[in-house]
Amino acid sequence: MRSSVSRCYYAAYCTARNHLRDIDRIPIPPDDTHKFVREKFINSRDTPRKQIGVSLDRLRIDRNRVDYDDVIDTRRWLPLTTAMDLLMSQQVISDIGTL
């Protein structure tokens, strides 16, 4: 489940990054690309883009927790977060497809 949460973030992040680069034609800087991508969406005036950024940030927080915290509640928090992040990641990818 920890790996699933991590992969959910990366699936959404890579889709968002590729959209900025390939569709919006925004050059992606080589340093701190994750923050750059999140902020491009969060700081948008377009509400759907802003929501994508907020979701990316939530997914990132969860990814950092599962990747770096030694102790995680595997009875309750991890199963719920895994299910939530799967849905959130799918929604982000779907929303990006409609931009």
- Is residue 24 pLDDT above 90, yes or no? yes
- Is residue 69 pLDDT above 90, yes or no? no
Nearest to 15 by CA among 98, 97, 82: 97
Angle of helix 2-18 versus helix 77-97 axis, rounded to 10: 20
Phi/psi for 43 (5° steps) reads -85, 5
- Is residue 54 pLDDT above 90, yes or no? yes
Residues 6+ apart with CB under 8 A from 33: 17
For 16-24, the CB contacts below 8 A with 24+ separation are 16/41, 16/52, 16/56, 16/92, 16/96, 19/96, 19/99, 23/99
> Is the pTM higher than 0.85?
yes
Nearest to 4 by CA among 72, 64, 86, 71: 86
* 3-class DSSP assignment, residue 26: coil
